[in-house]
Structure 1
Amino acid sequence: MDAFQAERRYLGAVAYRLLGSVTDAEDVLQDAWLRWQSADRSAVADPRAYLTTVVTRLCYDQLGSARARREAYVGEWLPEPVLTAADSPAEQAELGEAVSVAMLAVMEQLTPAERAAFVLHDVFAVGFDEIAPVLDRSPEAARKLASRARRRVRDGGRRGPVDPAEHHRVVTAFIAAATGGDLAALMELLDPEVAWHADGGGIVNAVRRPVFGALRVARLLRKLTTRAVDPEHPLLPATVNGELGALWYAAPGTVGCVMAFTVAEGRITAAYVMVNPEKLGHLATE
């Protein structure tokens, strides 16, 4: 098998975590494949390291222009979600640690160099000696970039580690309460300062700014589930970026919404809701 094809899944995982977009990651892989075809492969001692460098540099270039595009985006820009399967331990190691939608959203605050250093080191365990030439920095500078990014991600992300079983319990209860329109049950599951983030891209109706507070979010949810969820296609549990989330189908075979959540102390602290059809087209259908 060609070295590029052998590493394609891994390279796609790197590109997605760097860009937060499945579509953009696919474009990067296509460009990387073209460069691989024209490369002097006899001079490539380690194809994975070489291709990781190529993909990272392509993503690094895209991150600068992507920031400008997102400033002109209609409403809040959220990363494209992916529906993940229960891979084997070997496959999980191959694809790096799972990166939640919440973490990808927080990573939007990082500079391109910080994001690249953080993703390569903390997610894929790439050494700083290998990261440094990719970013045209010294190993020590790359280490500082990753450390700064790690601190910013921690400060802007979860309140603390969450037991997967607890996350599963809370999200399962949320799906049941939202589908049943049970406002009281929803209020019990929502943190008083819960944040609701939605991305409709100006194509589908969605709040354009985050909504804060349990009562406001619960009322919004009840309105949305009453209007949008077809009883024949209810809100369903789904593994979103490695964590339990939810999805529903706008029509048979067409994913209309994907939800991801953060949970702390038995309550949902944030919801990330993707309804932009341009960011859902890559998902598997019924």
Structure 2
Amino acid sequence: MHADDTDFLAQRFEAHRGHLRAVAHRMLGSTAEAEDAVQEAWFRVSRSDTSRVDNLGGWMTTVVGRVCLDMLRSRKSRAEEPLDTTAPPPAAAPPADPEQDALLADSVGVALLVVLDTLTPAERLAFVLHDLFAVPYDEIAAVVDRTPAAARQLASRARRRVQGADVPDHDSVRQRRQWEVVDAFLAAARDGDFEGLLDVLDPDVIARTETGVTTGAAAVARGASTFGSVALAARPVLAVGHALVDGATGFVVLVDGRAERALRFAFVRDRIAVIDIVTDPDRLARLDIRPV
């Protein structure tokens, strides 16, 4: 590789280092191991031909994901624990642009790491990359050497385990509890009940839309009036109801029988930890939405 190309690649890698470290920390649950993974990712990136890579940031994410998958599999084979599971998440470097800010994983708390430790390496990678970093299933499939459909199934299984839904949804006490939490969230949003919202939100909650990300319970609670106005829109053509959204607890807003928006939730210890808000018609059409 030409020296100028190497310098450019190194600059781009440094611009994404904070994001890559956050991905690695969410995958590994260890600050030290995350740093090792990022360094190994740089070795792999620096030896690769990137001339045909259109999205360097996305490609680097899959590279660090592959490194973390190898490390998780090695850890499982040796029955090891992460080096410092109780350590706080690393401080992310300033993002290169708002799009990178939307990808930072430091918005999800340490409590989720405890749950992630129950997953297989492939499940953990699929869940972290897709649900926390919005990496498409076809890119995840290349990392785990499976089809996109199989990658979707990995993420779905992981999501159910994260939510505590190891038994069928209609038989799950925890699932019913999650509907109660969602209903309490909507009621508090409708009433402008800030304290009520804080009661049902994980302190490190992340709310993600097509236009950006809001992190932290206080910030999400302040913006919840938007959710309330959606849920209570007084139009006879509109209906709001519980739904499984790609297998996750959620709700859907219907207009003339068609989904206008869908919210998908992930939970940590009976509090909302992640809210995905989908309004784009193309994205909505790709979701598996099942009213319940």
Cα displacement string for residues 194-252 of structure 1 (whole angstroms, at most 9, x for unaligned residues)? xxxxxxxxxxxxxxxxxxxxxxxxxxxxxxxxxxxxxxxxxxxxxxx9579xxxxxxxx
Aligned length: 175
Taking the TM superposition and a 5 Å limit, the aligned residue runs for 1:1-286 are: 2-68=11-77, 71=80, 78-82=85-89, 90=98, 92-96=101-105, 98-155=107-164, 160=178, 161=181, 165-166=198-199
Q: Normalised by the size of structure 1, how large is the TM-score? A: 0.51
The answer to whether the 8 Å contact 2:16/2:57 transfers is: yes
CA drift of 1:97 comes to 7.1
Distance change >3 Å, CA 127–CA 83, structure 1 → 2? closer
The answer to whether the 8 Å contact 1:15/1:55 transfers is: yes
The answer to whether the 8 Å contact 1:100/1:243 transfers is: no
Alpha-carbon distance between aligned partners in 1 of 2:81 and 2:57, rounded to the nearest angstrom: 36
The answer to whether the 8 Å contact 1:167/1:263 transfers is: no
Alpha-carbon distance between aligned partners in 1 of 2:50 and 2:270, rounded to the nearest angstrom: 49
CA drift of 1:263 comes to 6.7
Distance change >3 Å, CA 31–CA 263, structure 1 → 2? closer
Distance change >3 Å, CA 10–CA 167, structure 1 → 2? same
Distance change >3 Å, CA 72–CA 146, structure 1 → 2? closer
Alpha-carbon distance between aligned partners in 1 of 2:16 and 2:81, rounded to the nearest angstrom: 35
Letter of the 1:106 counterpart? V
Alpha-carbon distance between aligned partners in 1 of 2:217 and 2:78, rounded to the nearest angstrom: 28
Cα displacement string for residues 63-83 of structure 1 (whole angstroms, at most 9, x for unaligned residues)? 022235555799xx8453227
The answer to whether the 8 Å contact 1:17/1:104 transfers is: yes
CA drift of 1:19 comes to 0.6
Distance change >3 Å, CA 242–CA 60, structure 1 → 2? farther
Alpha-carbon distance between aligned partners in 2 of 1:120 and 1:10, rounded to the nearest angstrom: 12
The answer to whether the 8 Å contact 1:79/1:104 transfers is: no
Alpha-carbon distance between aligned partners in 2 of 1:40 and 1:83, rounded to the nearest angstrom: 30
Cα displacement string for residues 114-136 of structure 1 (whole angstroms, at most 9, x for unaligned residues)? 00110111001111111111111
The answer to whether the 8 Å contact 1:15/1:56 transfers is: yes
Distance change >3 Å, CA 72–CA 110, structure 1 → 2? closer
Distance change >3 Å, CA 164–CA 10, structure 1 → 2? farther
Cα displacement string for residues 71-98 of structure 1 (whole angstroms, at most 9, x for unaligned residues)? 5799xx845322769x999465130472
Alpha-carbon distance between aligned partners in 2 of 1:104 and 1:242, rounded to the nearest angstrom: 17
Distance change >3 Å, CA 31–CA 83, structure 1 → 2? closer
CA drift of 1:167 comes to 7.2
Distance change >3 Å, CA 70–CA 37, structure 1 → 2? same
The answer to whether the 8 Å contact 2:88/2:110 transfers is: yes
- Stretches of structure 2 lacking an aligned partner (at least 5 in a row): 1-7, 167-173, 186-195, 204-214, 219-267, 272-292
- Stretches of structure 1 lacking an aligned partner (at least 5 in a row): 171-240, 245-261, 266-286
The answer to whether the 8 Å contact 2:25/2:90 transfers is: no
Letter of the 1:104 counterpart? L
